Each structure stands twice: as structure tokens, then as C-alpha cells.
Structure 1
Amino acid sequence: MSTLPTPPRPRPVDIIIPVYKGLEETRLCLESVLATLPAADGLIVIDDHSPDPALVAYLKDRAAGDRRIRLLHNPENLGFVGTVNRGMALEPERDVLLLNSDTEVAGDWVARLRAAAYADRRIGTVTPFSNNATICSWPRFCQDNPLPPGLDVAGVDRAFAAANPGLSIDIPTGVGFAFYIRRDCLDEVGLFNAEAFGKGYGEENDFCRRAHHRGWRNVLAADTFVYHSGNVSFGVNQERLDSAMRQLLALHPDYRRVVQLHINQDPAQNMRWRAALGILRQSALPVLLFVTHNHGGGTLSHVHELAKALEGRAWGLLLTPGPRNTAVVTLPASLGGDALPFDLEQDWDGLLDLLRYAGVNRLHLHHMLGVPERLLDLPEQLSIPFDFTAHDFHAGCPRVMLCGPGSRYCGQPEERALCDACLAQAPKTEAGDITSWRAAMVARLSRAERLFAPSADTANRLKRMLPALSFRAIPHPDAQGLATNAPPPLLRPCGTTEPLRILVLGALSRAKGADLVEATAREAARGDLPLEIHLLGYGYRPLHRARGRLTAHGRYHPEEIAGHLERIAPHVAWLPAGWPETYSYTLSEVMAAGLPVVVSDLGAPPERILGRPLSWVLPWNVDASTAAAFFGRLRAGEIPASPEAPALSPQSTPRVDFYREGYLAEVFPEKARARLPEREIGELIGQALDRAGARRRRLQCWGDLKVVRQRIWRSLITLLAHPSLFPLVSRIPVSFQERLKRLIKG
């Protein structure tokens, strides 16, 4: 009868810290190690012929005052590889723990790494989590990360220890910033390859692959976190990185493949999630749950902006509907921003447990369009209060933008029969009649503690539709920055033959003025007016170029706007919306750029430009001839440089600093949580995260198909935008274009 081999007895370990540069980083590292060093373990500090006299003096003074430090000096610079090889050869009966001098450690980190190393007979190396450790990085995988605001190394390490006790996973290679090597593995595999890797970089990867081929395991200790500044002491340059990678691939041709396979599978994702949830759980800050639709746009921009404004004072989890009856939970950006889908049937209890475990104690509902009833009922399920922000008019009208089937502003008729007649027309809405719709909305929203609208205009319009509710006009967080930091607008004069360049920003639907922009460009061409319209974005259909008077520059990312504006050099921006916009981040962009602006006399924009120089208002239903004539007179300097916006009463003037000053202070949320026993909830969270991770991988396949469809649609749009095809495209009914779009994009 065979017996299992006796597990090896854990050995003492020597912590080896090579030092070259970085006095302050080295001081922090040594103090943190000395504060946590087990009595039976050793600390070896090796000065690799440092060029910094202050650093050398500090090492000598510190070692003289603490007998636990064994300080060695290299008579010449050996580089990282030669230095740690010297240290690893000193005590042949001890394990080694290589530690960069730009790290900080906390708690019983050595004991946890040692426990991971001896959890299996064939574990040879152990690497902890860190903020800057490629495949062992947290919160964002394979990225360099700052510590989340308000957290220190000890707090993060405690969260890892509590969230992932004793857990580890196999990794293709360790990372050398904090690298535990068992002595029996080191004896079998040999020291680092100084000949191949010279001054450093790639040596631990080579060691791990050599160990792997001899049957040793390299693992990530999921219960330990070590902070790593990165490249402070020895540093690396691109030439050395390239040389090391060539050497590594020459010795291990499969290296890139096995690492990429690990990255694709990302087996540590759930462990990062558990640590992030642990940080939320142990935090003294309130944890907010933002619930919204999955259509992106200004609503999602506001949610991200709000979370950023609250950073360091509250945590914000995001919950949105996902594909195939899922709800997607997204972590705060400072905790990685990772997202996982939970099946609303199979994983509903797991989702509730996760939200309770994280300590969610307030919900902020940002939209109800397409949001499953179960998610809307979460305040009752979790026994927490909630707020609601109206980002459009969905609460009062399922048409959302107050535009009828022809995409034209309806005027908000008082007669409900007119609303019912509108809803009965195609495209169909989810409402039967307007009275029932509004009654259901009032029943739900009357339970909210606070109702917000991003402008006084929006609040007033909602009051007309839902008189039982009162919305507070609170501009989005960017309003405060614009009020204090936006440059004053400047209207540059046009040269004698220079056209007035008009910027139109964003994706233009019919309601947002696509047809008006095209018709105005045609009018300018017909009248030979010195005007050019530049659409930085795209239309709901290909727009006619009107003999060069209209240029569509296509999609853009927000961070690219400044570069585009520098190339286009617009004189004025135009927001031609034909619906009462509730805020308009597009307006924020052009105001931040210091551009003069022309807006429609409808919705929030005229309210927002009140008192702003070089800002004008046109009727929302202006015709192309009038618009072209207006811009022609603007070019000629015939338009007074003052806004024609309606005045607001002091009572209705929105408070721009609310989200930074009053949003949290008003409610003083408590950290009261519905807790389950720690071990039970930990197991439930682990199971829920495991299922969610598997579901995410399945949905990625579905997402890949969606990307292909998006590319086909964009290619078709580009083709149809060609001027030679315009006569044909203009004859295709819009309804058919929409059906074709839905067919291709799925």
C-alpha cells in the first residue's frame, strides 16, 4: 500500500534587497520590512556600488542601529542579477525572498508567502499581488496602478488576506519585485542566468520557465499584496527590455504563447474581485449603487463623472442590464472598473449577496429604459433608500425626447388624447396609454428620497407631465469646473476670403438636427455664402457634402477633441437640436474649448449659456435659409455679441457645486449592512463570482459577433456616404434604413 510523501518542512527565509538608487523608496521599504520581519528570518541588504553617497550613508547608519540587517557592499556594480545571485548563495539552507527596494510590505506577509510556497511539494516560486506587477497586478490586470484613493498598503493587504485566505493559482512566470523561491527548487534549477540577462530584466522569467520544465510550479499568492513603485532602484530602458526579450525567446520559444494564454484565461480575476469587494466591505465610506440603462451616451458619462467627483468620499458600483437576461456589475474605476454579468434567474440570490457583502447602502437610479423590473425593485430587496435623476423625459413620456414619430418636438400638448394618438403610431413604444404610463412612474418615483433633473427647464417640463413629483434642478458635476475654469469665448475674425467655419459636434439624429445641418450647407452652396460646416461626428444617415460646404469628420474619442479642433480651427460651434435637451455634454465640450456657440431656444442649452459672452440662440424650428443667413451675418460682424437667453428666477437657478458639497452631506449614509456569517458569505460570493466569470467568457463570444456586425454597418455607412451614391441613398425610406440597421447590427 502506497503512502503520500511527507510534506517538506518550511524553512527560514532570507529577504534579499539589492539597492542602487532611490533613497526615499529604500527607506520606506526597509522600515516596512523591519516592522514585519519574523524573528527566525533574515534580512540581507546589498549595496550594488550605489552612486548616491546619501543612500550609502543611510544604509550604513540603519544597519549599525539594527542587528537584524546584514549589509553587504559590492566593490563594483554587478547589476540586479549578479547582486541577487550573491545574496542567494550566502545561506544554502534557507529559502530566499527577493524584494525590490522600491516596495512596501505589511502584516504577516512573509508567513503568507511561505505558507503558499509549502502548500504543495512541487511549488517552487511564489509571487504576491501588487499594483505594478504585470500578470500579478491589481486592480487592473497587466497594468501599472496607483493605490486607490484613501487606501494605504496595510489596508489593501488586509483586504487580500481576508478575501483570499490560503488561495493561490498557477502562473507561467513569477514577477521579480517580490519573489519567494524555495531552496530545494533553487538547488535543482540553479541561480539566475547572469550571462544571458546581464544587468537585469528577464532573469526571473527564465528561472520560472526552467523550474516549470523540471516539474516545479510557479504560483500567485492571492492572499498577499506588496506595493511596488516600479523601476526606481535599478530601472530598465527599452534597449535592455528588447535585448532581454530576445534572449528569453531564444531560450524559451513558447514563452509568449503561454503568457498570452494565461492573460486570455485570466484565472485570477475572481480573486481580484474578492479583494475589491473586501475593500468596500471594510471601508468607512458609503457604498453607492448606480443603476442605469446600457445605451451609453450622456447618462453613462454623468454616472462616471459623478463617481469621479465622489472619489475618496464614497464608492460607486455600477449595475446595468446585460445581454441574454443578465445584469452587469462594474467595480469603481479606482478598484479596477472590471465588469461581471450575473444571470437574473440563476444568480439572483448571488447578486443580492454580493451587493450586501459590499455594503451597498444607497441606490441612485439614473434610467429605467430597458432596465428589468427586478433591478428597479432593488431598494426594497436591499432595504436601502434611493435617488433618481431624469436624464431625459422617459419618466413622463416613453418617446423619451418629446418627439413624435417624425422626430419633431411635440410641444408637450395638454390633451392626453393627442399623446395617446402619438403613442399608437409607429415606431411602437412600451406604453399602452399615457395616463397609465405616468401613474406607474409616479408610483415608483414617489418612493425616492430625492429626484434630480440636470436643468431647471427639465425640472419644469417633468412637473407639467408628473405634477405629483418635484424635481430639483442640479447641473451635472462638470458645471462647477466650467464655471471656474472654462476660458472666455473668443470669436476670431475671418480673413477677406476665409469662410466662417461652423463646428457641429456629436452623433446627429433627426431630432438633433442632422437634416437642418445638411439643408443649411446646401443653402450656403446655393447662395455662395462663405460658410463651411464641419461635423465632428456622423449623421443618422449619410449627409450630402453640398459642394464641399459640409465635411463629416467621423467618430472621435473625447480625448481627441482638442486635436480635431486644432486642425479644423472653427470660429463658432452650433448645437442645432430640435428637442428640449436636458443638459448636453456636447455644449460642455465646446464651452470648455472656449468657442462661441449657437444653440436652439429649447431645453437646457439656452439656460446654460445665460450671461456667457459670444453665445446666441436660434429658434428650435428655424429653417435652413434663416440659419444660413444668420451665420452669414455673424461672419460679417452684424450680430450683437450677447446671448438672447431667457432669464431665470433666483429660486430656479441651479446650484453648480451640489455634487461636491451637498450630495453626500444631505443624507449622511450609514454603513448599515445586512450581513451573513463571514465564511458563509465568502463561499457564496466565491460561487457567484465563479459562475459570473464563466458567463463572461461565454458572452465574450457573443460580443465578438456583435463587433463584426458593427464593423459591417460602419463600412456600409462609409460606402453609402460617397457623393456618387447620394441620389440613390436619398430615395431610400428612413424606415427601411432603420430595419436594415437593426438586421445588420443584431
Structure 2
Amino acid sequence: MSRPDAGDPAPEVPARDLVRWGTVKAHRRLEAWTGTIDGTRPTLLFVLHNSGGGTFRYAKAVARLVRGSANVIYGIGIRERRLILCRNPDFRDAGISFNLPAEIPDLISTAGRLGVARVNVVHALGFEARLAELLLAWGLPYDITLTDYHLAAATPHLLDENHRYIGDASRTTTRRDRPGFVDNAERIVACSRHLAASMREFWPDLDIVASAPIDAPAAGYAGAVWRPVWPGAPLRVLLVNASLRLKGARTFARAAEIAMANGLPLEFHLVLDATHPQRVTVDLANVIQYDSDQHQLSSAVASVVSQAKPHLAWFPFEAPETYSFVLSDALENRLPILASAIGAIPERLHGRRLTWLMPPDTSPEGWLAMLTRLRTFRLCLRPVRKPIGDLPPARPFFPDVFMEPLRGWRQHPLP
């Protein structure tokens, strides 16, 4: 089955600073890396695909949590034929490229020089066959961190040919053959309770841990700041990456058109990754657009919140979000939230004030009716939630449980 929601094949990495293994520059770069690796700590290798986005952000968040007890390097798999070792996935063009399978022995030797003691497979889309070969040759213990459905379903986001969610009841109809390396993983952890529950439907014979959120700040995360909506003023609505189909582009674009045509007092502030090839352009007077990129999206949201002072954030998600860092940004900025009750969104917003969840198939007119009602009542409406009692309990996994297998790791100098 095709993967209609996988997007275009991941682009090749820019070659500005990328060096190929076997060159003098590659060996110099490796020497520089070994000079900055703490040889008294184990090194973890995080395997990722080349498309970036939330997967990179999740991997980097985990890396920050373990940096006090481990070094982290990244391996970016590309189209079954290359793997790029790098220190930061956002700057993978400053890495070392290995041609596979010819340079697998060199890659294994290089990982040894960097002290790699364990592998964390975060995403393998477009690299699964070669990854299976690599893991077997490495012989290192490894975990799998699930951030979407790509290892279990024919489509990573469970969308049909029209890029629409197939529905909870039809999830397992997209089941694909399970990659062999999944069964040999020491641990499998899902980034949310909903993803863990869903993956257990695909893999009922495997133990899948539901991780607690990894980026929850200590203060203010569960709260929201109410900002008054003055009579005669528009309701200022923040959207983040809603120009992408998975994030609700069709719903948002149509809602903005209807609001504009009917003179509704709504003002949409859209922060988007302007570099994304699948973004949808919305050119309307009631839509104020702020261009950013995937690396600066979080800081762009904070800047827009400070300047535009939106009354709430709106997330008309059409596909099941397995975690959602754009939601994290809204939570970090303590915004009231109107969102689709889909995927991990209900669990991440559970018990929060000034939060309203709507069915994911709500029409643009239905969303506009709710936005208008929120403006009329100045956001003073009871929260609308979705029960989450049927989901498996979450447990704090990162960093302590994640690092448990390496507690007895012996210190040794790097070669």
C-alpha cells in the first residue's frame, strides 16, 4: 500500500559542509568530535529519518534530559543508501556521510571510536531495511522510541488516499509487516498514552511503555492566562503550522474565508514553517502570517504571543497527533486552547482550565460557531474535555528509566 501521508521523498542533505567518509576532512572532523566527547560517559546513538520536524525536536529533548550522564550523537538515514553521523540533527550538513552498505565496517568502527554503547531508534522511515542490517552488524543493545505509526501501519499518520484520518475503528486495517528489528529491541516506548494504546492494537504481543510528557515545565503548564476580549474588538486567534494538511489547513482556510465573507470579528495570527513544501497559502485580510522555519518555530510563537497578544490558540488537527510540540508551545505560553479531540491531545490537556475540545470532524462552520461563542462570552465557558480513563497509564521514562541499562557502564578512555 502506498503512503499518501508520507510526503515527498526526503530531500538530500545540503552539501555545504557535509564530508564523505574516507576524505581528509572526514577524519579531521572525527578527530574534533572525539576531542569533545566525554570518555567517562557512554555515548548514545539516536537514529532518525531525514525529514526533521517534531521527530527531531523529540530526539533533542530526550538528549537534553540525558546530557548529564551520556553523550549523544545522531545518525540520519537517507533512502536506504546513506547514513550521516552528526552532533546536531538540525545541522546534519556538518556531519560525516557514509555510503551503505559498502562503508558499514567503517561506520561501526567510527561509532566505536565515539564510545557508542547503545542505540535509540527514533525514526526509520525510508531506512528500515538498511537499519536492520546495521543493527545486526553492530550487535549493540537498542531501544525503539515510537513517535508515529510508521513501523506498524502503511501510513505514518493513518491517513487515507485523500489525506484524511481513517478513524479509530479502522486503524489496524492499515497494518503492515513488522520489521524484524522491532522484535529484538530491548524496550519499546511510545511518546504518549494514546500512541501506546494504538500500537498495542497493532502489536498485542509486545510490551509498549507509555512515556509521560518529556517537556512539561515545572510551573504554569497546566494553567492558562485569561486575556479580556473588549467589546467591539476582534477575538485574536493564534494558529501554529495550520497551513499544513495534517494540522488542519483545509479547515482553517475555509473557516477564514467564511469569517471574512461574513464580517465575523475574528483575527487569525498564523505562525508557520515557510520552508515546508506542503504548506497551504491563505491570502486574506483577516489572516496575519508570520513566516518562520522548523528550527525557530518555538521562539517565533513566543514572539507573536508577546506582540499580538492572542486570546487563545486554535488547533483544528485532522490527523491523530502523537505528541504535538506546537501544542507544547501554546502550553508554554499559557494560552487558552481550542483543539481537536484527537490522538494525544486530550491526555495532554486533561484537567486544564480554559481548554475546549471539539470532534476532529467538526466542520469549518462548527469551529467558527465555537470561536464566536467564546468571543461572546469572553472565554468564560466551562472546559470541554474528553475522557482518557481507557488509556494505559503513563510512566516517567526519560531520563532515569531510559538510562538504567547503562548504570553499570565502565569508564574507559576513547581510542
| TM-score tier (shorter) | 0.7 to 0.9
1:322–1:341: 8 Å Cα contact kept in structure 2? Answer: no
Displacement, 1:625?
1.0
CA distance in 1, matches of 2:211, 2:335: 24
Displacement, 1:484?
3.4
SS for the counterpart of 2:402 is coil
Displacement, 1:512?
1.8
| Aligned with 2:150 (options 388, 394, 400) | 394
The aligned residue for residue 259 of structure 2 is 524
The aligned residue for residue 365 of structure 1 is 121
Q: Which has the larger radius of gyration?
A: 1
Deviations 1:95-123 (A, max 9, x none): xxxxxxxxxxxxxxxxxxxxxxxxxxxxx
Deviations 1:500-547 (A, max 9, x none): 01111026322321010011112222332211112111584544434x
Displacement, 1:311?
1.0
2:341–2:358: 8 Å Cα contact kept in structure 1? Answer: yes
Displacement, 1:391?
0.8
1:387–1:451: 8 Å Cα contact kept in structure 2? Answer: yes
Structure 1 stretches lacking a partner, 5+ long = 1-265, 420-433, 683-746
Change (3 A) 1:364 1:671: farther
Change (3 A) 1:414 1:575: closer
Q: Which residue identity is paired with 1:668?
A: R
1:462 and 2:199 matched: yes
1:512–1:577: 8 Å Cα contact kept in structure 2? Answer: yes
CA distance in 2, matches of 1:449, 1:631: 47
The aligned residue for residue 545 of structure 1 is 283
Of stretches 461-470 and 297-306 in structure 1, the one that deviates more from structure 2 is 461-470
Change (3 A) 1:476 1:370: farther
1:277 and 2:14 matched: no
Displacement, 1:279?
5.6
SS for the counterpart of 2:45 is strand
Displacement, 1:324?
9.3
The aligned residue for residue 319 of structure 2 is 579
Give the number of the structure whose residues are more often helix, by fraction: 1
Deviations 1:398-444 (A, max 9, x none): 2111110111110144597x64xxxxxxxxxxxxxx4xx23x33x43
Change (3 A) 1:306 1:355: same
For 1:609-624, what aligned pairs fall within 5 Å after superposition? 609-624=349-364
TM-score (norm 2): 0.84
TM-score (norm 1): 0.48
Change (3 A) 1:323 1:376: closer
CA distance in 1, matches of 2:171, 2:345: 27
1:450 and 2:190 matched: no
Q: Which residue identity is paired with 1:603?
A: G
The aligned residue for residue 560 of structure 1 is 300
Displacement, 1:640?
5.2
The aligned residue for residue 165 of structure 2 is 409
- Runs (4 or more) in structure 1 with deviation over 6 Å come to 266-269
Displacement, 1:309?
1.3
CA distance in 2, matches of 1:361, 1:565: 42
Fraction of identical pairs, as percent: 27
Deviations 1:322-368 (A, max 9, x none): 479321001369xx995111111442211111112222111100112
CA distance in 1, matches of 2:325, 2:363: 25
The aligned residue for residue 631 of structure 1 is 371
Higher relative contact order (CA 8 A, sep 6+): 2
1:306 and 2:43 matched: no
What is the aligned length?
Answer: 385
1:533 and 2:276 matched: no
CA distance in 2, matches of 1:347, 1:315: 24
Q: Please, what is the CA RMSD of the aligned residues?
A: 3.0
2:79–2:126: 8 Å Cα contact kept in structure 1? Answer: no
Deviations 1:634-689 (A, max 9, x none): 0111765443323334983323x43133221355363599x9xx9xxx7xxxxxxx
1:506 and 2:247 matched: no
2:62–2:214: 8 Å Cα contact kept in structure 1? Answer: yes
Q: Which residue identity is paired with 1:660?
A: P
1:499–1:530: 8 Å Cα contact kept in structure 2? Answer: yes
Displacement, 1:476?
4.4
CA distance in 2, matches of 1:668, 1:404: 44
Displacement, 1:624?
1.0
Change (3 A) 1:619 1:380: same
CA distance in 2, matches of 1:324, 1:647: 41
1:330–1:339: 8 Å Cα contact kept in structure 2? Answer: yes
2:55–2:147: 8 Å Cα contact kept in structure 1? Answer: yes
Change (3 A) 1:332 1:627: closer
CA distance in 2, matches of 1:487, 1:604: 16
| Aligned with 2:250 (options 506, 510, 515) | 515
Deviations 1:154-185 (A, max 9, x none): xxxxxxxxxxxxxxxxxxxxxxxxxxxxxxxx
The aligned residue for residue 287 of structure 1 is 43
Deviations 1:250-293 (A, max 9, x none): xxxxxxxxxxxxxxxx977743522532664x723121111010
| Aligned with 1:601 (options 341, 345, 368) | 341
Q: Which residue identity is paired with 1:450?
A: R
